[in-house]
A and B are shown apart, each in its own frame.
Chain A
């Protein structure tokens, strides 16, 4: 496979992916693609498998059937001749290096200062020198507006500040794809804006692929190239934000958007 075809391939591809928790089918033969540099937002009712898509990509959940491709390579499998075998830990680590994830509950390392949260993985995993990691860490803190908090511990920060550190921490590993799993759902309403602003500025970088699960519909409309409406483990409808938000074709999509956009009706 040469580079030219490689860049035209979708960077993420779900091919008939099935995920079950016990008897409950979370992803039902899901087909889903994301192009390089594309910003895609997944919306849908809870339990529709939105977060599961991100968690499968981050290798936090295994799949039961189908194949997931990242950058043209199977994620949970390894090519063995013409067939696919389950991925080794080594393969998973190689694939993971392309992805970064921002968690709903931030999941910062509480025993490390803010700056150390940003430098630990680059130093320990990528083998970057401490000085270089610190320099890059401070640049990222500047980007998220937290240089003055570098030596504090996560518990000394507000939720919004913690989530901005969470974003910077994921970026420190220089991923090609950023996964945002309901990044503002755990925040007090007045802190949501500062986090969305950081994500918005990232969306302007056209090299970075972004996959976002959120309930912030207005924000999704602003930053996304495409909106995917998930229902019962499948994509019920997808399209440009204007299409989905102003003229959804599916009755199910209309009902969902009405419920989240005008909850008082």
Chain B
């Protein structure tokens, strides 16, 4: 069989991988902000919940989280009369997002805490409410600091999507495995897949760089 004939099914798989990556990175970014700021909250309930989330999802394997959401949760739901069966796509996106969100939350917390306290004092002196201080003064300065690490996390996330093939989601890794089983042509298939992941990572990195430049454009003014 000609290697070009692998391209169509692999492309289909790659498209699923792209979608998984985009959705789970966006959702994960949201989790990162919610729980990263939650960890800094003075509300003990919010803070405790955020810390627990971050530690649990950073301290367990993504594969186990994925299996738990896809296989264990529906059975637990049944026991309490809830339908918690998710399509593989949803389970995959949620697991990836929660996992990346836990790492991202620590990045958000760190970047917010790294904003100089003088900025906090200037905002207080100008009588900003604590909410406006966060949104108008702290976060716009903290977000550019988060971006390089967020870029790394997004690429990490792209590579982690390969694990969802294990819950029979037709992503790039899943298609590759299918073709290999059928043709036994491991070298060609895996080489192609390697390059496809690498290509996607390059594009993703470029996108994150653009975003980084956009949120930190004030830093480059006049330079």
Contacts and interface: CB of A to CB of B under 8 A. Distances in A.
Interface of A: 58-60, 89, 93, 96-97, 99-101, 103, 105, 107-112, 120-121, 124-125, 152-153, 155-156, 169-170, 173
A143 B165 CA distance: 66
Contacts of B118: 103, 105, 107
A153 B221 contact: yes
B191 interface: no
A170 B121 CA distance: 13
Contacts of A58: 121, 124-125
Contacts of B122: 103, 107-109
Kindly list the 8 A-B residue pairs having the minimum CB-CB distance in the complex, ordered from nearest. Answer: A121-B126, A107-B122, A101-B125, A156-B222, A153-B221, A107-B118, A111-B140, A111-B218
B121 A125 contact: no
Contact of A152 (B121, B140, B222): B222
A60 B132 contact: no
A156 B221 contact: yes
Interface residues of B, number: 21
B222 A100 contact: no
Contact of B222 (A99, A112, A121, A153): A153
Contacts of A152: 221-222
B157 interface: no
Interface string B98-131: 0000000000000000000011011111111110
Contacts of B137: 109
B21 interface: no
A170 B222 CA distance: 26
B141 A107 contact: no
B121 A96 contact: no
Contacts of A109: 119, 122-123, 137, 141
B213 interface: no
Contact of A125 (B127, B140, B219): B127
Interface in B126-180: 126-130, 132, 136-137, 140-141
B126 A60 contact: no
